[in-house]
Amino acid sequence: MPASVTISIIEPRTADLTLGCLRSVLAELSGIDGQVVIVDNASGDGSAEEIAAWIDAQPANLPVKVMPSETHSGFAGGHNKGMVDPPVGRCLVLNSDAVLRLGFLKTTLEAAQANRDAGLSAGFPHDYPILYGLFLSHSAFDLHFPFVQK
């Protein structure tokens, strides 16, 4: 049976950012049946080894796996690799510079459970409100992108 959520993180020569992202994800996984797959997109700079060493230094049974890729397949291709093995229940795809805000994962999984017909949900960058008609939505991420309007 797959975990309730698999978090796929793409690592393109950004070990420090990836570890920051991973720490925020692990804090969110407390009490949630989940796993993390870090796809090293053929970085070739020692990032995968640095991340693996950090994981090895943590307490046993950390639900994290580093998956090296022989080719750089970009964001979508990398996440496709991260979602194939192990099997996926729900999946959260992240870039290495994403840092989850406290409560994001629990809230997102609750929303997915309540809206089973939805195939996709998304968070938005922190401090950049997004306007949807009369509704104002705030972010679940602590990273900064240019303002986006719909």
Asked if 21 and 49 count as a contact pair (C-beta separation under 8 A), the reply is: no
Residue 74 placed within a domain? yes
Predicted TM-score (pTM) above 0.95: no
Residue 99 placed within a domain? yes
| pLDDT at residue 2 in the model | 53
What lies within 8 Å, CB to CB, of 34 at 6+ separation is: 3, 4, 5, 6, 7, 63, 105
How many structural domains compose the chain? 1
Residue 104 placed within a domain? yes
DSSP tag of 141: B
Q: What is the pLDDT along the chain (150 residues), one digit of tens a residue?
A: 455 888 999 988 889 999 999 999 999 998 888 899 999 988 889 999 999 999 999 998 899 999 988 888 888 788 888 777 656 678 888 889 888 888 888 888 888 888 877 766 666 555 544 444 333 334 444 444 333 333
Residue 84 placed within a domain? yes
Q: Comparing C-alpha atoms, which of 5, 2, 146, 11 is closest to residue 73?
A: 11
Residue 112 placed within a domain? yes
Asked if 77 and 97 count as a contact pair (C-beta separation under 8 A), the reply is: no
Asked if 63 and 27 count as a contact pair (C-beta separation under 8 A), the reply is: no
| pLDDT at residue 87 in the model | 61
Residue 147 placed within a domain? no
The Cα angle at residue 84 between residues 25 and 12, in degrees rounded to 5: 55
Give me the CATH number covering residue 83.
3.90.550.10
Structural domain containing residue 35: 3-118
Residue 50 placed within a domain? yes
SS3 assignment for 48-63: HHHHHHHHHCCCCCCC
